[in-house]
Every structure is written in C-alpha cells, then in structure tokens.
Structure 1
C-alpha cells in the first residue's frame, strides 16, 4: 500500500516536471513561430503558460499518458532495455500531446483571430507537423534527460521509487 502511494506520488512529480518543461518550451516556440512573442505582454504570456500547463497536465495525466503507456508497453520489444522504453513512451506521449495541444492552440488562435486564412483542417495539420518536428527532439534530447536527471537527484534521493517509464 505504501509503495503504491509512493509510485503515485512520484508519477505526479515526474508528470509535473515533464509537463512544465515541455509547456514552457512549446509555448515560447509557438509564440515565436506565430510572431506573437513581441506583441504579447509578459503578463499575457504568463497567463498563457498557466492555462496551457493546466490543460496539458490534465490531458497528460488522465488521457494521453495512460493511452501512450499502454500502447508503448504492448509493443514487442525488449522492455529490459531502458532506452527502448524511454523512446517508445516518449514517442507515443509526444504524438498524443501534439495532436491534442495543437487542437487547443488552433482553437485559441481562432478565438483571438477569427479571420485566419486557410481551412481549419489545413491549419491543424500544418500545426501538428510544425509542433511534432520540434517536440519530439525536444523531449528526447533536452527536456526528457534534464527532467530524468533532476528527478533522480531530488526525488529519488528522498526514498521515492522511480516510475516504470523512467
């Protein structure tokens, strides 16, 4: 019972850390790509970060995360190799989060600028592609390793067991 609570607690910490890192990078990336970095105030950017983090964390915790892990662990590969598990889970997490968060981003873009050019579907696919090519390497090469290092240094040392997808 205690180990189960520790695992839930550590999954929460790991998810908060990973989601925070990805949201910060992806928000600034999208603001830059759409020319909004210079036009928004820091207060508006902070509100955007908080709102985006809230939505992303809920999606990651209750929808995308469980589905991504289920798919990743159902594939036939050697799960004793940590790198395979990390890449597999990261791939499906990024795919799910990019699909969902691009929909969120497009929705907020249409709300702030209802006269956007192009069809909704065309804009969505373009945004998904644009976000995926940034998010996947970001997750594998920057945010993932940093979060795993910080998690091991600050959470693991406090007696909390690593999550199965660590």
Structure 2
C-alpha cells in the first residue's frame, strides 16, 4: 500500500474519486432529485463533495482510522486484518461526515422538511452506510488497491 505522502495522496484521490462518484449518484437517486437538477448543480455538488471527502480522508478520518486500528489489540502482522480494520473505521468516519454534508446540501437545495434534522441525518446515515460498506469492502477497496499496486507502484519501480 502507500509508502509515502505522495502515494497516500494518489491512493486517496483514487479511492475518493470512485466512492464519491458512486455515493453521489446513489444519493441523487435516493432523494429523487436527479431529474430536477441541472448538470451545473450536480457538478458543483459532486466537486464540493469530492474535495471534502479527500480532505477528510487525508487529514481527519484516514489518520484517525489508522491510529485506532494500530491501537487495537490484534496481530498487526496479519495484513488483511489491518486493511479490514482501517477500512471499517474509514467507512464509519466518512459516512458520518459525508452524511452530514448530504444533509446540508439537501437543506440548501430543498429547505427544511417535516422531519427533524436528527431524524433526517439518521436516515441519510443508514442509507449511506448500507451502500458504503459493501462498496468499499467488496468493490472500491479491492479495485483501488489492485490498480494502485499494479499500475502506480509498478510504474514507479520501472521508472527508477
């Protein structure tokens, strides 16, 4: 996996690109506004979401997920356990923050509804978690790790 800051940034870009693209599309369909929004509006919201997700990944959630994982009492030589733990904490943290972002964007775009903000947040969180967990663990995580190790890191070895 990433061995330095540059590789961490590239890995984060790849992961955030995939996750934000799928999760943003999913959320547009879930709230039923995909037909009502203009391309410009969707582009702005997705770009804001991508920038926020990348910043959270690199500076808040990512480091915290790693810190928690390496503080847990399990055999760290088992790489699969390390990856699964980091991924699980990343999913929880990113869904927590990005659901808040989604709530704010919904509020800005549609205003308050008859539901409480806490109730709306809980609903958004659960719906996002239901998709983010398998998406990260079964699709994006393995795909990005495969591409990263076989394209990015392999090309780095060829250049040197």
- Aligned residue pair count: 155
1:135 aligns with 2:120: no
**How far apart are 1:35 and its partner, in Å?**
0.5
**How far apart are 1:131 and its partner, in Å?**
0.7
1:49 aligns with 2:46: yes
Mind listing any 5+ residue stretches in structure 1 that lack a counterpart? 1-5, 161-166
2:86 aligns with one of 86, 89, 92:
89
1:23-62 correspondence runs (5 A): 23-62=20-59
Superimposed CA distance per residue, residues 31-82 of structure 1 (whole angstroms, 9 cap, x where no aligned partner) = 0101012222333222221111011111111111111110011111122122
What's 2:64 paired with? 67
Superimposed CA distance per residue, residues 103-128 of structure 1 (whole angstroms, 9 cap, x where no aligned partner) = 11101111111131210011111111
Alignment partners' CA distance in 2, 1:98 and 1:48: 16
**How far apart are 1:18 and its partner, in Å?**
0.6
| TM-score when normalising by structure 2 | 0.92
Alignment partners' CA distance in 2, 1:21 and 1:46: 15
Secondary structure of the 1:118 match is coil
What's 1:9 paired with? 6
| TM-score when normalising by structure 1 | 0.88
Secondary structure of the 1:159 match is helix
**How far apart are 1:96 and its partner, in Å?**
0.5
What's 1:3 paired with? none
**How far apart are 1:158 and its partner, in Å?**
2.5
1:95-110 correspondence runs (5 A): 95-110=92-107
